[in-house]
Chain A
Amino acid sequence: MFKILKKEYLTSGIFLMDVEAPKVAKAAEPGQFLIVRVDEKGERIPLTICDYDKVAGTVTIVVQVVGLSTQLMDQLKVGDYFKSVAGPLGMPSELKEMSVEELHSKKIVFIAGGVGTAPVYAQVKWLHEQGIKADVIIGAKNASQLILVEAMRKVSGNIYIATDDGSAGFKGLVTNCLEDLVTNQHKQYDLAITIGPMIMMKFLSELTRKLNLKTIASLNTLMVDGTGMCGACRVTVGGVTRFACVEGPEFDAHQVNFDEAMRRQTMYRTEERSQNALTPDHICRLDKIVERRNK
């Protein structure tokens, strides 16, 4: 089980994989995530489910190579196996709770940033299957970092691209783009759903609060077990501590304490390492580990 059936690079640093995991695929719903382990020594890596094929028994994940574990994942090829895949975890998207009539009555806009475009695709596609077309804003640093634009076009309503350098679409941030749509182009939305870097979601949520637009954010917190056992994933929402892995990952963005969430997310980044840390530097071990994997 957990065989990799397909691997495709969406950009030089972002790849997509179809993984055999029939039980997970069968139960998966938009908004949920899974946890993979690369091998016996691997950590438990949470990844949002980007697509699933209940008939073929596969799930699709999209991964941006950022650190040790994603580099190790990148070494896996078609035909290789993950040591384990557990899921689906977390609560399905709030959209799942609404009736089709209710969904039809709402104008929904998705705001995707970077690799967050992939899980947004899962939800937009699901809405499309219910006969609903949502608008989507996709943001990236530049044109070469954009992913899944064509696939998204097939299942969405209007698509807006925003790049920092203007190499594709709107020049600027997704927040500027949404503000422009609402204030200048008089677009009306009832619900915004955002998945992307924490900092982007933070500023987006500040904007939509001003616009009085209900917003849901999917939080990619640190996690260990993903079943509610450790509390590594805790976030403050509306002043209350919540476990993102079981009560989330989606929360009312206007209630989320993003500053705390961003700070907690950096806990294991090398540059943030406390001077007094006793444990060996994680990234320094990379060479050794890569050597182990190549054996």
Chain B
Amino acid sequence: MKKTPRTPVRELAPSYRITNFEEVSLGYNGEEAMLEASRCLECKKPMCVDGCPVSISIPNFIHHIKAGDFKSAAEVIAQASALPAVCGRVCPQETQCEGRCILGVKQEPVSIGKLERFIGDWSRENDITPETTITPNGLKVAVIGSGPAGLACAGDLARMGYEVTIFEALHKPGGVLEYGIPSFRLPKETVVRHEIGNIVKMGVKIENNVVIGRTLTIDQLFNEEAFNAVFIGSGAGLPKFMGIPGENLNGVQSSNEFLTRTNLMEAHHDDTDTPLKLGKVVAVIGGGNVAMDAARTARRLGAEVHIVYRRSKAELPARAEEVHHAVEEGIIFDILTNPIEIIGHESGWVKSLKCVKMELGEPDASGRRAPQVIAGSEFTLDVETVIMALGTSPNPLITSTTKGLELNRRRCILIEEETGRTSRDGVYAGGDAVTGAATVILAMGAGRKAAKAIDQFLKNQAIE
């Protein structure tokens, strides 16, 4: 078998990109995409499709790219995903489609994500909107939350003929795509808003500034607003804190607060009103993708940034690509380090972070080596800002105001796995609200599954 190396993707130089919020990865052009596509073996039994939570017909769309027929490639993807330019950018392909690619056994897998992104971008640049003929069926479905789960569910239902309204608490749609993931990884104006626009073109109505559980309850959606079914895609937005002394000092914030200020509110732009205060030295606590996003954002605002993580580099939960980009951008990794206290100035602002050094002990039940404190290793790190990126859990706003909605121990909404059906008749749920913080594509997959089940439910109801 002839070995063709993976077609490299062009990126902005680290020294340049830390001065701005431009997208780091430049993606493929047509020529590069065709070259990369030519590496695909078009397996008879494609493993990559099994690895894709929304089962995009991957060899099929790559086949069209090979031939330079990008429009047909776009049509193939559109059957499974309304957000190709988003997913091509933010999916963890290495553990999904690309992780299963047969080429990966001996060499590098096909760059499926970059190809998907190329098709998404090409469609936008060439103004291609996948054609859909919709016959309205007169039934109304309410979708709560406009993140990937809600958008995917709404898009599918609209295509089936349902009248869909998305209720979104914030003033812009997109969920984490808008308020969480920074624009240097996922451009807002072009990519996110365009792909949401495509869903709106299918007839989906988005009502911003409506907080379900406060402005309207789920019962009201059924009884007063005459919706026939409800999908909950409200995400996992509740930030965790460590519970260490000094956490409420001025200058300590959650990653959600920091990223919301910069992404949703664009606080770092001179002409916006939302304030932002960032010290010269910033510590980001945590080692996941969110921590990398917060660290790289702070770096772009000019700070010296430390990632403080209690396990070793090998255990960092963030994607390898994110860690690589963070290292390139000069983020300092203080690994095997755990904060135990935040110390303040008399003024109440953060002065330093008191930490202990950790070492990895014996593997625990889950096989992960548990970090243990090294006795007498206490030290302080002088920082002015501390950003807590420790994960999030579902917001109780909806579940605490809806009777009969069962939750699991982690306060996630309990569903029937195959359908997304909750313990309340006609109420479905999916995405981070069900799983806890996960991924864009899993949320989309859950939204699509629920759309199918809602369709089935309402059809059965019509027969009865």
Contacts and interface: CB of A to CB of B under 8 A. Distances in A.
8 contacts: A27-B215, A86-B170, A89-B214, A224-B260, A230-B254, A241-B248, A260-B248, A278-B280
A145 interface: no
Interface stretch (A3-11, A128-136, A157-165, A269-277): A269-277
A234 interface: yes
Given A267-B277, A288-B271, A274 B384 contact: yes
Contacts of B272: 41-43
Interface stretch (A176-184, A191-199, A211-219, A279-287): A279-287
B215 A86 contact: yes
Contacts of B251: 267, 274
A86 B275 contact: no
A203 interface: no
Nearest to B170: A225
B416 interface: no
Pick from A37, A85, A228, A231 the residue with the most CB of B within 10 Å.
A231
Contact of A229 (B210, B266, B302, B395): B395
A174 interface: no
A280 B347 CA distance: 21
Interface in A68-104: 68-69, 72, 83-89
B93 interface: no
Interface string B275-309: 11111100000000000000000000111000000
A227 B167 CA distance: 14
B397 interface: yes
Given A43-B273, A89-B214, A292-B271, A229 B260 contact: yes
Nearest to B220: A27
Nearest to B303: A278
Contact of A264 (B239, B248, B396): B248
Contacts of A227: 169-170, 211, 237, 395, 397
B211 A224 contact: no
B397 A246 contact: yes
Nearest to B345: A274
B92 to A, nearest CB: 23
B215 A232 contact: no
Given A84-B208, A228-B237, A278 B278 contact: yes
A56 interface: no
Nearest to B395: A228
Interface string A224-268: 110111111010100001000010000000000000100110111
B211 A89 contact: yes
B352 interface: no
A141 interface: no
B171 interface: yes
A229 B256 contact: yes
B197 interface: no
B209 A277 contact: no
B241 interface: yes
A23 interface: yes
B215 A43 contact: no
A263 B348 contact: yes
A273 B277 contact: yes
Contacts of A285: 270-271
B349 interface: yes
Pick from A89, A228, A278 the residue with the most CB of B within 10 Å.
A278
A44 interface: yes
A278 B237 CA distance: 28
Contact of B273 (A68, A84, A236, A280): A68
B402 interface: no
Given A83-B171, A89-B214, A230-B254, 20 more contacts: A27-B215, A27-B216, A38-B273, A86-B169, A86-B170, A87-B211, A230-B260, A231-B241, A231-B253, A231-B254, A232-B253, A272-B250, A274-B277, A274-B279, A278-B302, A278-B303, A279-B275, A280-B270, A288-B270, A289-B273
B247 interface: yes
A49 B265 CA distance: 23
A44 B265 contact: yes
A289 B261 CA distance: 18
A83 B397 CA distance: 24
Interface in B424-459: none
Nearest to B234: A227
B238 interface: yes
Interface string A34-64: 0001100111100000000000000000000
Interface of B: 169-171, 179, 208-211, 214-216, 237-239, 241, 247-248, 250-251, 253-254, 256-257, 260-261, 265-268, 270-280, 301-303, 347-349, 384, 395-397
A88 B212 CA distance: 10
A137 interface: no
Given A72-B273, A232-B253, A274-B384, A88 B215 contact: yes
A84 B254 CA distance: 25
Contacts of B257: 224, 230-232
A227 B392 CA distance: 14
Contact of A279 (B210, B239, B301): B301
Q: Which 3 A-B pairs have the closest CB atoms?
A: A230-B257, A86-B209, A43-B274
A24 interface: yes
B384 A276 contact: yes
A228 B238 CA distance: 6
Given A229-B395, A231-B256, A224 B214 contact: no
Contacts of B302: 278
B215 A279 contact: no
A268 B276 CA distance: 8
Contact of B250 (A41, A224, A228, A264): A264
Given A23-B210, A225-B170, A278-B280, A241 B241 contact: yes
B277 A228 contact: no
A172 B265 CA distance: 42
Contacts of A234: 248
A268 B275 CA distance: 7
A277 B268 CA distance: 12
Contacts of B261: 224
Pick from B260, B261, B265, B277 the residue with the most CB of A within 10 Å.
B277
A280 B279 CA distance: 12
A276 B301 CA distance: 13
A249 B58 CA distance: 51
A86 B211 contact: yes
Contacts of B347: 272
Contacts of A228: 237-238, 395-397
Nearest to A266: B250
A263 B241 CA distance: 19
B273 A69 contact: yes
B348 to A, nearest CB: 4
Nearest to A269: B275
